[in-house]
Structures are given as C-alpha cells and as structure tokens.
A and B are shown apart, each in its own frame.
Chain A
Amino acid sequence: MKMISSNKLTDGRVIFWTGAGWSADMKDGKVLEDDAADAELEAALKDEATEVVGPYLIAVDGHDPAGRERLRETIRLTGPTTGSTKYVHGIKPGTEA
C-alpha cells in the first residue's frame, strides 16, 4: 500500500495527499493500492505549481509508515526524535503552523 507525501511550499511542513487536497495529518492521507499509486501521483503532481514541493510515494501499513523508509518517514511524520526543538518546547514538529 502507498500514500503520497510532500512538503508544503510556503513553509516546508510535511503533508499528505487526501485525494482532494493536502493534510498535515497522516490519518487524512489517502491509502492507495500499489497499482493505482502512480496515476494518483500524477494528479498530485499538478499541485507542485503553487502548493507543494516534490510529492512522492511512501510505503504504508494502514496509516503508518512502512517498508525500508519507515524510520525516515516516521521522523518526517512525528518530528525529530531528540534535540532542542523537541525536548525543550514539547512541540510536535510538522504539526505546528
């Protein structure tokens, strides 16, 4: 199964393709059958003109990252696992405007 992820053009925050637009919440992301993913990515790529940067397919298990890039995509989803931004501010990076 696949999902389409990208970064928002204006601020770079991580977002997910819902089928009709983009959401910062992975739970809103549209889960795609593998053989339908490329066609959906073509549709999402149209938003690269003014809304997003570099949409690409990620492997998912339900609404969670999966496969070889699971760690990287989990960090994209939930923010740095450590470091100043996380433990001092308690912010969940990627969800703040």
Chain B
Amino acid sequence: MYQYDEYDATLVRERVEQFRHQVDRRLTGRLTEDQFKPLRLMNGVYLQLHAYMLRVAIPYGVLSGKQMRTLGHIARRYDRNYGHFTTRQNIQYNWPALVDIPDILGQLADVEMHAIQTSGNCIRNVTSDPYAGAAADEIEDPRPWCEIIRQWSTFHPEFSFLPRKFKIAVTGAAEDRAAIRAHDIGLKVVKNDAGETGFAVFPGGGQGRTPRIAPLIREFLPVQELLAYLTAILRVYNLHGRRDNMYKARIKILVESLGADEFRRQVEEEYEKIAADGSLALPDEEIERIRGFFPPPPQAESAEPVQFSDDADFALWRKHNVRPHKVAGLKSVVISLKPIGGTPGDATSEQMEAVADLAEQYGFDEVRVTMEQNLILPHVREADLEAVWRALADIGFATPNAYTATDIVACPGLDYCSLANARSIPISQEISTRLDKSGLIEDVGDVTIKISGCINACGHHHIAHIGVLGVDKKGEEFYQITLGGSHSDDADIGSIVGKGLPGEDVPAAIERILRAYLATRSDGERFLDTLRRVGEEPFKEAIYEAA
C-alpha cells in the first residue's frame, strides 16, 4: 500500500497543529462558532445530536493492520469503545470530545491517516472496489489511480471551495462494486481495441434528494490524461454549478440541466485547452512509481485444492463470505459487520484489534472497508480459511451473510445524526432479526436492502434492490419503500412504491416482498430480474396487503 513521503507526512502533521491552535482559539473565545465551524468541518468534525462526530478518511478503503489497530485504540481511549464503518469506506467516531480531537488526529498521523477533506465542499475521499488488486475479474488494480487522485485533490486550491461536495469512485474490474455511476465522477478502467488502458468517464451521478445515474461522456480516456480531464470536469462544474441553492448545487444537476452532450462539449473544450500545454499529463515514470506501492498480490504457497473440515457452519460461511481471487490458492474473505439484530458497520476496539491481528497473521497485512459497511481481508491462503473463520467466530464477526438479505446497510439515522428525520438502525435490526427467523435467506439469495434516515441517502437506499427511506410526518416516523435500485453494472434508481409505513410494519412488509419474489420468480432469476420482468405491482400488493 501507499507509504507517505516527506510531503505527505509534513502536510498531515502541520494540519494537526493548525487544528490544535484552532480548537484552542475556539475554546478561549478568539474564534466564534461561525468562524470555527468551517475549520472543524475541514477536519472531519461534525456536531451531531448528542456529541461531536469525527469522520476519519480511509483512502479508497485500504488499511494496514497497524492502522486498524490504531483505530481500535482511538475508540477505546477517546470514544465509547466503538467505531462505525460507513458507506463511503470511512470510519466515524460518535462520541469524541472536541478537546481530545487534536490528540486523536496526532495519533492518526502517526500511522499515516487523517480526517482531511472528509467534509466540506471539496473533493472527498476517493472510493473504490474493495477487492482491488485481488478480484478475479479485474482489468487493472484501481488503487494507483485512486492514490494519484488523492494526491492531486488534497488541498487543491482551485477545488477547495466547490459549489458542493464532490465524490469520485474508481473501479478496475468488470463488475462495478464501487457504485461508480452514483458518484459525481465515476471512472472505470477499460481497454481499447489496441489493448491500451484508459478510463471510461461517467460524471453527474449521485444520490441524495435528486438521485441520478451518471451518463457516459468519454468511452476511452488515456490514463496519462486522467488529471487533465478531471480538471476540465471540475472547472466546468466550478464555473457553472449553482451556488445559489445548495439543493441544486451538485454536479448531477448541472449535467442534467445542460444535457450530457452539452456538458461533454464544454468539458472537451476545456480539456483541449488544458491538454495543449501538457502540464497536467501524468508522466509514465510517476505512474510507475505510484504503481510500485501496489505490487501484485502475493502468490499462494500452494495452489493445490484444500481439504476443508466438514463443519456445516464453516461451509455456509465459505459459501457467502469467501470470494474468488485472481491468484490460485488465495481467496478474499468478507468480515461481516452485520450480526443478526446488530448495528450495521459497528466494531468494538477489541474487534478492530483482532482484525488487525488476523490481517497481519493471515492477510498479508491488508484490510479493506466496503461500501456495504463490512471489512475484507483481500488476500488469504485457502489453507488458512478455517483458522480465519474460527478467529472471526470468536469475536462475533463470522456471520455467514455477506451479500444476502441480512447484510443490511443503514445510516446512523435519528439515533445519532442531526440531519435525520427518522431512525435507521432499529429498523435494520428488526428486519435482520425477522428475515433470519423467516428461513428465507438462503432461498432468496442476492438481494440488497439499504436504509436511510433522510433524503440525503447516506444509507444508499436509492441504489438498493429494496430501499427504505425514513421520513417525518408531523413529528412521526414513517418509512417509504423503494424497489428496483442497483449500484452495479445495471445501475438504476429505485422507485417509491407507495405511501409510507409505520416502522413496526416495515420488517413484515419486506418479508412479504421476498415471499412474493419466491412465488413469482423463474428458475435462476435474481430478485432484481424478477422485479424488472413482472413490474412492481405484485410487490406493491405484498407490501400493502395487510394494510
């Protein structure tokens, strides 16, 4: 993984000390809250319902064992022994005291981490395929490109005060596991007819109150031109993005209002100007230097088939939580942070430290955070799978439900978030518990359920097969159900099927949706395929049948 050079280290250290002084000035009245708020937000510090929240960047979701151990230590020393992994592959602490945050940032800097640009109208943490460098279907490892974008965008003076926040996602695989078309810019590594590597460019996607799937405006961008083209997109957005209305300020609104063709024309025009002097062209030697931080995955000591024990629980876990790897003899392991009835994405200090140990002992010192709020050990020898499974079971992290209906994504919701209209976590817990008891999980297979406590959609409900959106109706919580969203290659926005339900009715309604699917599907058909084939009517009837 990437190692800081002296510039990175200095920049992060200086930022810690700057923030320490800013906190001191706020506490002693030399900065007003209005003056301090944008400064704390630039360092990932929000004020939520009960306390401050610190959002720590995990660049493209990649952690070392040492970094994970530090995250666990911070949770124990400065928080309530927990951290919460988010849909943007970051971690949030829900209870840090403002007076402690400079010290927390100092400890993060010790392990080459920070909270810079995890808030504010700037280019946020770049997200990516959590199986980067390991996926069997990968065209090229996207992490070097993520790192190049991270370096380019960090403190970029031209793009530090954009009309609104800006999120970039990169995938290097055939299957989109990074939801690239639901981002401000999505990049997909592709090959052209000559076998050269480049990017397909999708700007103008996003969720929130106006969800949009990003259109393709460039089928093939040579890799050397990445920063020139990103700059062109950002310049067009910075110039024309609406600053008069924060609800219409994201790039998706600009792309839609101009139309994809006109937006493309303006970007290409700007790009031609930038490309003419070549100053933003990526030198091949710099690309190779960054690639050098991300060597090919390790080779397994043996690619011989492994004889696993006949433990049924282990077999079920392998079925759902062990994924194919590009190297024979290796697998990727999904660590489920979705215990049945638990809080999606939460991990205790002890759990984080145990995962750090496992990464170092069995995982070639790498951990990934996923947008599904799980963790991944990307490279594990098949021969070590049983030992990893047993160790995960010891810490409550071996729930065999990765990518199943109980692998539910949920934002913090009204239990923590000052923006939320309704609670998300209790609904996810009740759905998880009910579906687990229903015995349907194995049969329904590939279904995604995602819950947001408000229209900002941090829980990604728009791109869920079954989405749940919390709304406020005269002070009461109600939940709208959406159907048909997808974050993948068949990306789509789910549609609201009807009036909102009280929270206590939602788990049963979701079970009825799944039963309707089982009654309607053809052989081998996924939930989404059935929904697209028959339309939403049978599912709508199922949702409201008891009403």
| Chain A interfacial positions (CB closer than 8 Å to B) | 7, 9-14, 48-50, 53-54, 67-72, 75-76, 79-85, 88-89, 91, 93-94
Contact = CB atoms under 8 A, between A and B. Distances in A.
Given A81-B423, A85-B94, A71 B50 contact: no
B426 A94 contact: no
B415 A11 contact: no
Contacts of B429: 82
A11 B97 contact: yes
Given A12-B51, A75-B49, A84 B343 contact: yes
Given A48-B33, A85-B82, 19 more contacts: A7-B47, A10-B99, A12-B48, A50-B27, A54-B33, A71-B414, A71-B475, A75-B414, A75-B423, A79-B50, A80-B50, A80-B415, A81-B415, A81-B426, A82-B415, A83-B425, A84-B342, A84-B346, A88-B82
Interface string B15-56: 000000000001111001100000000000001111110000
Contact of B50 (A13, A67, A88): A13
Q: Which of A12, A13, A71: most chain B CB closer than 10 A?
A: A12
B27 A10 contact: yes
B224 interface: no
B29 A50 contact: yes
B60 interface: no
Nearest to B53: A12
A9 B346 contact: no
Contacts of B166: none
Q: How large is the interface on B (under 10, 10 to 19, 20 to 34, 35 or more residues)?
A: 35 or more
B436 to A, nearest CB: 17
B343 A83 contact: yes
Contact of A53 (B28, B29, B47, B474): B47
Nearest to A66: B475
A84 B348 contact: yes
A69 B420 CA distance: 12
B176 interface: no
B80 interface: yes
16 contacts: A11-B52, A12-B50, A12-B97, A14-B50, A50-B27, A50-B28, A53-B47, A71-B476, A71-B477, A72-B49, A75-B423, A80-B50, A81-B426, A83-B425, A84-B346, A88-B348
Interface string B309-351: 0000000000000000000000000000000001100101000
B517 interface: no
B51 to A, nearest CB: 4
B81 interface: yes
Nearest to A77: B50
A82 B426 contact: yes
A88 B82 CA distance: 10
Contacts of A83: 343, 346, 415-416, 425
Kindly list the 10 A-B residue pairs having the minimum CB-CB distance in the complex, ordered from nearest.
A11-B97, A80-B415, A68-B475, A12-B51, A12-B52, A49-B29, A84-B346, A50-B29, A82-B426, A83-B343
Interface string B425-465: 11001000000000000000000000000000000000000
Nearest to B51: A12
Contacts of A50: 27-29
Contacts of B348: 84, 88
B81 A9 contact: no
Contacts of B82: 84-85, 88
B50 A68 contact: no
B32 A80 contact: no
